[in-house]
Amino acid sequence: MIRTLAVHDEHWPTAQVFTIARGAKTEAHVLVAEITQAGVTGRGEAVPYPRFGETVAGALATVARVRPAIEAGASRGDLQDLLTAGAARNALDCALWDLEAKLTGEPAWRAAGRTRLDPVKTCFTLSLDTPEAMAEAARAASRRPVLKLKIGGPDDLGRVEAVRAAAPKTRLVVDANEALSFETLKRLAPEFARLGVMLIEQPLPSGADHVLEGYDSPVPLCADESLRTRLDLAACARRYAYLNIKLDKTGGLTEALALAAEAKALGLEIMVGCMVATSLSMAPALILAQGAAFADLDGPLLLARDREPSLVYEGSLIHPPPAGLWGQA
C-alpha cells in the first residue's frame, strides 16, 4: 500500500459578522486533510474549537505527528487510539471515510449502516445582535422552518420576543453558548416557553451545569459544550434531554455515530450541529442527521461563498452530497 497525506488550512469569509456570546468572527478558518491511495483522494474538513483550546496551527502540528501512521495504512479504528477527540482527528477520520467510499465503491452512508440518505431540514442561525436587528433578520428568514437564535446578553427576553413577533409561525431554538446563570435560566425559561421556544441549548457553563440535575425546565435543554464524546454521556444524560453532536467535538464521524447510538439507547434526543464551515464539513454530518430531532447544518449558508462542488440547499432543505464532494465514488 502506498498512501500519502496532505494537510493545509483555508480561509472562507462569512457573509456578515457572525456573533455569539463568546465573540465574533468574519471568516471560517478550516483544516483540510487529503489522503491519497491507489490514485484516489479522500478529503475531510474540520474547524478547530477555540472553546476547547484548539487552534489551526495546533491541529496542523497534531496531524503532522501521526502522518507516518496514516501513510502506513492506519484505519479509522486505529485513528481513535492515535488521537484524542478534536478537529485534527475529525479531518483525518472524514478523509478516511471518503477514501474508503472511493476505493470500495460503497457510499459512506451505506458503510455507516444507513439504508438510504434522505434530504435533511436544517435550522438557520441568527447571529447575536440587538432585538431590532435580530427581528429584521428573522423577518427575512421567516419562511424557514426553524430559526436558531444566539443569545447571551442583558436583553435576551427582548431578543426572543422581537424574533417571535417577526416570525410568528417559525419554530424557535435558542442557544446561549454557556452565557446564562442558573437564576437567569430559571427566570427566562417560562417566558421562552410562553413564546413557543422548542429548545434551549447549553444555557450554563459546562463546568457549572451540575445544578441542572433535578431541574424540571419548562423548555427542554440541550447539551453542546458539555458534550464531546461518549465519556461525557453519563453526566449529560442526568442534565439534558437533547444532545448537540458535532463532528469537530467528537473527532469525526466514527465516534459521532457511536455516541448517537448510545445516546438514543438512553432515550436522549439528538441535534446534529456544526461550526461555520463549507459543504465539505457538512456532508459527513448528513449521515448522522438521518432521523435526528434537529439538524443545525447551516454553516455554508453563513459564508460569502462555498466550495465547488457543494451541497445543494433548497431553502432549509439540504440534499445529499453530489459525487465529487464527499462520501461516494
Instruction: Report the catalytic residues.
Output: 150, 246
C-alpha cell at 267: 432515550
CA dist., res. 8 & res. 97, Å (int)? 19
| Grid coordinates belonging to 111 | 458503510
CA 147 – CA 300 distance, rounded (Å): 16
> Residue 294's CB: how many other CB atoms inside 10 A?
25
Q: What is the C-alpha separation between 212 and 203, in angstroms, rounded? A: 10
